[in-house]
Amino acid sequence: MLNIGPLELVVIFVIALVVVGPRKLPELGRTIGKGLREFRKAQEEVRRSLELDDLQDVRREIADTQRGFRDALRFETPGSGGADGSGVATDDAGEDAMGEAPHAHGSPAAPDEPPAPPDTDDRPGAPEGA
């Protein structure tokens, strides 16, 4: 803030003593102290107000991001996006956004890829096909 050392304070005190006089100096000191307290209080209120504004901006950004993720997940999670339960948004003709009809098993697969085998239990002693 202000770089006032002890020597400068003594000089200011002596000048104030000469200008104001010894009787009014304590009253002047109290008045200056009250003014500085009020100034610091107002400064702290402004700082808090700015911090609250910044926090509200951050909260808005987080809420917008959350909404964006929710909207994106609605179209990507199985059972929540398309009419066929595939998670791919489809139009009234049953075509996805790329203009292709969804596969019978509900998830797009590469044309060269064979269908996935049924789930089996690999635990020892488990009955086959369970």
pLDDT tens digits, one per residue of 79-126: 544 445 554 555 455 444 445 555 544 545 555 666 666 665 556 665
Position 104 scores a pLDDT of 47
Question: Residues 56-74: what's their mean pLDDT?
Answer: 90
Q: Where are the domains of the chain?
A: 11-73
**Predicted confidence (pLDDT) at residue 38 exceeds the cutoff of 50:** yes
125: left (phi over 0), alpha (psi -120 to 50) or beta: left
Question: Residues 66-77: what's their mean pLDDT?
Answer: 84
Mean model confidence pLDDT for the chain: 74
Q: If DSSP codes are grouped into helix, strand and coil, which group holds residue 114?
A: coil
Residues with Cβ within 8 Å of 92's Cβ and at least 6 positions away in sequence, in order, are none
Question: Residues 39-59: what's their mean pLDDT?
Answer: 90
Percent of the chain with pLDDT over 90: 24
Q: Which of 3-12, 15-24, 32-41, 66-75 is predicted most confidently? A: 32-41
Question: Residues 6-12: what's their mean pLDDT?
Answer: 89
